[in-house]
Each structure stands twice: as C-alpha cells, then as structure tokens.
C-alpha cells in the first residue's frame, strides 16, 4: 500500500478500525496502480471479534460511495495447518483493458481514448506472442522488489465489444505496471509503428526502457481473482458467511 495515500485498502482498514475499535491490517490478493479499477479483490485480516451480517452493513456505511464490501468469509486453517492467505493462495488474476476509439465523455474515466487506426489482426498476433513467454522483465517498472520476473500467462487476447477494443489477460501473477506496458506496446504494433518481430525483440531484451508504459490507469480493470476450488468450502454460520 502506498504510504500516506488514500487507497481502497486504507479506507477499508479505517472502517474496520472504527467498527472493531482496534487497528486492522489488511493483506490484499492483488495490488493495483493508483487509478486502476477493481471489480473484485480480496483481503484477509485477523480478528477475535464475531463478524455478523449487521457488521457488513456497518462497514459499508463507513466506506465512501465508490467502495463496497460484498461478502465476508470466516476462514479456518487449511488441511496442512497453514492459515489461508489472500495473496499467496490465489491461483490467478484476470484484467481487462478498455480502448475507446470514439470520444465518449461518459467513458473517459473508465477507458483510454485512443483515436488512431488500429489493425486488430496485428493486435491479436501480439497477444498470442505474449503467451509464448514467461519472462516479462521488459514490462515491469523499475525498482520493483520481486525475486522473479516470470509469469505464467493463461489467457491473452483482444476482443471487440460494444465498439471498444478490449484486451483480456489472465496470469498466475503480474508485475508492477505490466498490463499497461503490454497494452501500450501492443498499441504500437496495432498502429504498425513496430513489427511483430520487433515485439519479440522487446520481450527478449529484458529491458523496460524499450516498452511503452503510456497506457493510462483508468482503462485498466482487475476483473477476477481466482482461488483453489475448495478454498472457501468451509462454511460459517449463516450470519457470518454471505
């Protein structure tokens, strides 16, 4: 979480601290850059308080209008005795990036207005290229404290929906700024500013100065976070699991 910044995490922590009368530290399943939207995310925290359906209502009453807690799961240790972890137990995350080609003031905060001619087939070729690689050093922002730049891309494709170009990507993990860099660089392929061969070269170079990080945050959405099939199988009492 960004220090001293107002974030979704900080707002939920503030609400929980008021409600539970004690400090709460959340651990998120996925981090996003400032300005990126999330249709779904998960956090875990520890508390000795009973969390009832009424408390869910109270949490949401303390949150700003653009944040909502949809459900709470009371978790128990896994079969191996380890505690569930929102980040490390997640198996994949899916993002979508929305490209708007016609100016629309009602979508300016949720898409990237890009009024240049794009070759859809070239975009799709570039998306398929991404699935052939695992090292995405070229698409990670500098000063990122990670042990590896390897990611397993499970889905990578462009679609045209409602007159918008939408990039779908799902992976076991993502690097800082990775999706926006992938989109920005693929847009250069779609505009025929760089070739597919050059796109390969950028990936193989493992040099982030060659990628295009200009795609703005507002076009990016975290869509889903997936966990093992039985991760939430332990049912709580009706007023604690909803």
C-alpha span between 9 and 25 (Å, rounded): 9
CA distance 108 to 94: 22
**How far is residue 87 from each of residues 28, 42, 43, 45, 154, measured CA to CA in Å?**
6, 8, 8, 12, 18
Active site residue 135: no
Copy the structure tokens of residue 108.
């300016």
Q: Which residues, 6 or more positions from 63, have their beta carbon under 8 angstroms from its beta carbon?
A: 11, 12, 15, 69
Of these residues, 33, 65, 66, 104, which one is catalytic?
A: 33
d(Cα 125, Cα 189) in Å, to the nearest integer?
9
Residues with a known catalytic role? 33
């Amino acid at each position: 979480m960004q220090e001293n910044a107002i974030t979704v995490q900080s707002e939920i922590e503030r609400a929980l601290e008021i409600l539970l009368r004690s400090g709460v530290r959340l651990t998120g399943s996925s981090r996003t850059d400032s300005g990126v939207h999330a249709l779904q995310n998960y956090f875990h925290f520890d508390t000795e308080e009973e969390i009832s359906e009424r408390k869910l209502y109270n949490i949401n009453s303390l949150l700003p209008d653009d944040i909502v807690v949809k459900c709470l799961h009371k978790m128990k240790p896994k079969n191996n005795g380890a505690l569930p972890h929102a980040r490390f137990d997640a198996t994949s995350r899916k993002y979508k990036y929305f490209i708007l080609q016609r100016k629309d003031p009602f979508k300016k905060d949720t898409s990237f207005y890009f009024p240049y001619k794009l070759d859809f087939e070239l975009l799709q070729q570039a998306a398929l290229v991404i699935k052939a690689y695992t090292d995405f050093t070229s698409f990670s922002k500098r000063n990122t404290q990670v042990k590896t730049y390897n990611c397993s891309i499970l889905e990578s494709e462009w679609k045209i929906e409602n007159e918008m170009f939408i990039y779908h990507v799902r992976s076991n993990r993502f690097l800082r700024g990775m999706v926006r860099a992938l989109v920005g660089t693929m847009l250069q392929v779609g505009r025929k500013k760089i070739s597919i061969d050059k796109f390969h070269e950028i990936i193989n170079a493992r040099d982030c100065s060659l990628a295009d990080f200009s795609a703005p945050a507002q076009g990016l959405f975290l869509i889903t976070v997936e966990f093992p099939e039985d991760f939430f199988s332990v049912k709580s009492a009706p007023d604690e699991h909803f």
